Amino acid sequence: MTDTALDISLTVNGERIAERVDARTTLVDFLRESLALTGSHVGCEHGVCGACTVRVNGEIVRGCLMLAAQCDGATVETIEGLSDAGEVADLQTAFEQRNALQCGFCTPGMVLTAQDLLKRNGTPTRDEIREHISGNYCRCTGYQAIVDAVESVAQTRAGGKT
């Protein structure tokens, strides 16, 4: 740790955390390396691929473009938190059933982004789904199965309205 270290406190997946971080540490590196929350992935490291997507104060952000120090006082949620809470269980099941993942590298970010869309717009069109996930790169699936999975969850949620 250098003399640029800062003390921060934040809530991560419902747990209060107090840590000393280097001022230059990105949020995703902090989550992965200090908190062992490795579900958020590091791909491009410059805001393009979406693999590092997490939620800060309810909004999805690129974890590689935000500094951990900027999250002092914030509420951060990662795929681990959403998964443990069951918030995205239907999306996870749909991704699995429809083969919407292969290597899985993009999947945590993709699921967070899909959940963000479905919270804003419960019945998106396929074009709206494509538009919303367009900032999340997938090198494996060709996206068709991902759109199918998100669409099926939207329809089920809209029909079931749990």
**Contact set with ligand FES (CB under 6 A):** 42-45, 47-52, 62, 64, 101-107, 138-141
How near is the Cβ of 101 to ligand FES at its closest, in Å? Answer: 4
Buried b (16+ CB within 10 A) or exposed e, 133-156: beebbbebbebebbbbbbbbbbee
How near is the Cβ of 161 to ligand FES at its closest, in Å? Answer: 30
How near is the Cβ of 13 to ligand FES at its closest, in Å? Answer: 19
Cα gap 139→101, rounded to integer Å: 10
CB of 17 closer than 8 Å to CB of 10: yes
Cα gap 20→110, rounded to integer Å: 30
**Which residue lies nearer to ligand FES by CB, 8 or 106?**
106
**Which residue lies nearer to ligand FES by CB, 119 or 139?**
139
Cα gap 82→132, rounded to integer Å: 19
How near is the Cβ of 54 to ligand FES at its closest, in Å? Answer: 10
**Which residue lies nearer to ligand FES by CB, 13 or 26?**
26
CB count within 10 Å of CB 110 equals 28
**Which residue lies nearer to ligand FES by CB, 24 or 139?**
139
How near is the Cβ of 46 to ligand FES at its closest, in Å? Answer: 7
**Which residue lies nearer to ligand FES by CB, 143 or 152?**
143
- Measure Cα distances from 47 to 53, 102, 103 in Å: 9, 22, 20
Collapsed DSSP state (helix, strand, coil) of residue 61: strand
